[in-house]
């Protein structure tokens, strides 16, 4: 079952990176992001929406950082 209430993309407001929960990697540390309260979900639930809010690609799950 997908975490994040069925959402695919989760933003880390501390690092301003977006993570793809469908391609979650151990080094993404999703549990830690959520526990710390640094999580943000997007409406619509798309990578382009996350990027429009200033988030960059997560290194491990998406790759191709644009910073």
Residue 29 lies inside a defined structural domain of this protein: yes
Residue 37 lies inside a defined structural domain of this protein: yes
| One pLDDT digit (tens) per residue for the chain, 67 residues | 456 778 999 999 999 999 999 999 999 999 999 999 999 999 999 999 999 999 999 999 999 998 8
Q: How far is residue 24 from each of residues 2, 28, measured CA to CA in Å? A: 10, 7
Residue 35 lies inside a defined structural domain of this protein: yes
Number of domains, the chain = 1
Query: What's the order of all strands across the beta sheet hosting 9-12?
Result: 39-41, 9-12, 17-20, 56-57
Residue 36 lies inside a defined structural domain of this protein: yes
Query: Quick one: pLDDT at residue 66?
Result: 84
Residue 67 lies inside a defined structural domain of this protein: no
Query: Quick one: pLDDT at residue 2?
Result: 59
Full domain range(s) for residue 50:
9-57
Query: Quick one: pLDDT at residue 1?
Result: 46
Predicted TM-score of the model (pTM): 0.91
Residue 40 lies inside a defined structural domain of this protein: yes
Residue 62 lies inside a defined structural domain of this protein: no
Q: How far is residue 11 from each of residues 15, 26, 29, measured CA to CA in Å? A: 9, 16, 12
């Amino acid at each position: 079952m997908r975490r994040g209430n069925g959402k695919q993309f989760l933003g880390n407001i501390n690092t301003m990176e977006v993570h793809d929960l469908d391609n979650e990697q151990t080094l993404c540390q999703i549990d830690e992001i959520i526990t710390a309260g640094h999580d943000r979900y997007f409406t619509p639930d798309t990578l382009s929406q996350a990027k429009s809010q200033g988030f960059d690609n997560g290194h491990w799950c998406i790759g191709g950082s644009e910073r």
